[in-house]
Amino acid sequence: MLQLILGGARSGKSRLAEKLALDSHLQVTYIATSQPLDGEMNERVAHHRARRPAEWALIEEPIELARVLRESARAERCLLVDCLTLWMTNLLMLDDAKRLNVEREALLDCLASLPGEIIFVSNETGMGVVPLGELTRRYVDEAGWLHQALAERCQRVVLTVAGLPLTLKGTAL
């Protein structure tokens, strides 16, 4: 099963995804896409790390998400990817402008063949004011297009607001 958990900052999306992974009763591998490049991001990573069960495996991969999913997916495993918008940001910041399209297409192309459960967490950024800068407008556009394409392929899509899940597609939580 493929699931997409969307929400704003501090909406409870990661906590919900972690609960779903735990409730799957499968082996869990947490795939972290962040690159803690400053003190504040280090604190966020530490907070997430402290909340996760010790027996969960961890893979840190900021760029090649499709490769990691293909290598790690198993029928008896739940993969939790947190988060897609950080992954996309990492790609946007590369010197290679084509890499985002290559990696996004690789991700979307591999989903149908992946066994097990996969839970994607991502920030919903398209519900606010359109940003002024070119890079931030591209970020919002790219995130929106990625979410649409992923939601089309997922069996369940949930929007999380104030810690409350609203099921947009699939079986309600």
Residues designated catalytic: 48
Dist CA 57 CA 98 (whole Å): 31
Q: Taking the mean position of all CA atoms in its chain, how far away is CA 162?
A: 18
Dist CA 74 CA 67 (whole Å): 14
Burial (Cβ within 10 Å: 0-12, 13-18, ≥19) of residue 74: middle
Residues linked to residue 118 through DSSP beta bridges, in sequence order: 2, 79
Dist CA 42 CA 37 (whole Å): 7
Dist CA 69 CA 108 (whole Å): 11
Q: What are phi and psi of 58, to 5 degrees?
A: -130, 135
Helix axes 84-92, 134-153, angle to 10 degrees: 140
